[in-house]
């Protein structure tokens, strides 16, 4: 695969954490910590905080994204959030198919494909998540699972999108794939992606890693050819830790 230059992408997924005062204090601090970063930085707060986070980051280069999105633009879907509403709240990105959504809400590859299409139809960029469980990796089925998830999520060919490889066994566990294992998997994903959208297009796509990333392991991971940034969970809740991850990668 061509050694094309891809702009690093760092996503901070707050999951179900923080209230307005916490979020505003965080957003007042983060831009100064990251400075004039060459990377693309996106914060994914819980839905009730989207407007306050968007307002607090206005004027900075840091973008905001939704943690989830419904495939329909409106309707009787209690508790869900549409792409139109995310855009209205100041979002530029949407997570699609995070492993916790797959696990806790039974999200299928078909549903995730619809979410990706809904995101891009409203002008959002989709960050599409794929990843295997510990049992699937131990059974030697990791690449089979990733290939299926990738083909399913991209069935409608959403554009623009980036991919997040999040090994389920490494999320919130403190376990991290070695740089070599992560690179091997990212390379497989890029090769599988080239079969779907063509080699040139796949070479330009960003594939970020998500799985217990911290300031100590980030630099060794992003040094690998096919790792283009991170989707950070727990470490993104602290602006000092999150900015340290970004800075340790030279961004």
Using DSSP's 3-state secondary structure scheme, residue 218 falls into helix
Question: Active-site residue 105, yes or no?
Answer: no
What local confidence, expressed as pLDDT, does residue 212 receive?
Answer: 85
Provide the H-helix boundaries in 92-238. Answer: 99-105, 109-121, 134-138, 142-153, 179-197, 199-204, 218-222
Residue 49, CA distances (Å) to 42, 79, 86, 187 in order:
14, 15, 11, 35
Question: Active-site residue 98, yes or no?
Answer: yes
d(CA 155, CA 176) in angstroms, rounded, equals: 29
Q: Which domain holds residue 202?
A: 9-17+28-106+124-236
**Set 40, 100, 147, 166: catalytic member:** 166
Question: In this structure, is residue 245 part of a structural domain?
Answer: no
CATH number of the domain residue 85 falls in: 3.20.20.70
Kindly give the confidence (pLDDT) of every residue in the chain, 251 residues in length, as a single tens digit, with 9 standing for 90 and above.
445 789 999 999 999 999 999 999 999 999 999 999 999 999 999 999 999 999 999 999 999 999 999 999 999 999 999 999 999 999 999 999 999 999 999 999 999 999 999 999 999 999 999 999 989 999 999 999 999 999 999 999 999 999 999 998 877 677 778 999 999 999 999 999 999 999 999 999 999 999 889 999 999 999 999 999 999 999 999 999 999 999 988 87
For the chain, how many structural domains are there in total?
1
Question: In this structure, is residue 3 part of a structural domain?
Answer: no
Question: In this structure, is residue 112 part of a structural domain?
Answer: no
Those residues whose C-beta lies under 8 Å from the C-beta of residue 73, and which sit 6 or more positions away, are 82, 83, 84, 118, 122
- Global confidence as pTM: 0.95
Question: In this structure, is residue 207 part of a structural domain?
Answer: yes
What is the H or E stretch that residue 43 is in?
strand 40-44
C-alpha 224, offset from chain centre = 18
156-169 pLDDT per residue, tens: 999 999 999 999 88
Phi, psi of 248 (to 5 degrees): -65, -20
What local confidence, expressed as pLDDT, does residue 231 receive?
Answer: 97
Q: In terms of Cα–Cα distance, which of 174, 172, 167, 171 is closest to 142?
A: 167
Question: In this structure, is residue 119 part of a structural domain?
Answer: no
**Set 98, 136, 147, 186: catalytic member:** 98
What local confidence, expressed as pLDDT, does residue 176 receive?
Answer: 74
d(CA 58, CA 61) in angstroms, rounded, equals: 8
Question: In this structure, is residue 92 part of a structural domain?
Answer: yes
Question: In this structure, is residue 53 part of a structural domain?
Answer: yes
Question: In this structure, is residue 196 part of a structural domain?
Answer: yes
20-43 pLDDT per residue, tens: 999 999 999 999 999 999 999 999
């Amino acid at each position: 695969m061509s050694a094309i230059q891809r702009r690093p992408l760092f996503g901070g997924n707050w999951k179900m954490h923080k209230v307005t005062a916490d979020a505003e204090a965080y957003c007042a601090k983060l831009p100064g910590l990251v400075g004039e970063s060459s990377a693309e930085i996106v914060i994914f707060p819980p839905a009730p905080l989207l407007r306050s986070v968007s307002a607090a980051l206005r004027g900075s280069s840091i973008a905001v994204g939704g943690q989830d999105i419904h495939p329909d633009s409106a309707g009787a879907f209690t508790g869900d959030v549409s792409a139109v509403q995310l855009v209205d709240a100041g979002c530029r990105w949407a997570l699609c198919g995070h492993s916790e959504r797959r696990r806790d809400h039974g999200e299928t590859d078909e549903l995730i494909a619809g979410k990706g299409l809904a995101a891009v139809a409203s002008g959002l960029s989709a960050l599409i998540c794929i990843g295997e469980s510990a049992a699937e990796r131990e059974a030697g089925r990791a690449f089979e699972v990733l290939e299926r998830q990738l083909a399913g999520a991209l069935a409608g060919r959403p554009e623009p999108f980036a991919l997040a490889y999040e090994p389920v066994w490494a999320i919130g566990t403190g376990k991290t794939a070695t740089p070599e294992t992560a690179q091997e998997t990212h390379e497989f994903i890029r090769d599988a992606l080239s079969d779907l959208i063509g080699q040139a297009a796949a070479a330009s796509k960003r594939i970020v890693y998500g799985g217990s990333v911290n300031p100590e392991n980030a630099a060794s991971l992003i040094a690998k050819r096919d790792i283009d940034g991170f989707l950070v969970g727990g470490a993104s809740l602290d602006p000092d830790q999150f900015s340290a991850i970004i800075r340790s990668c030279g961004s």
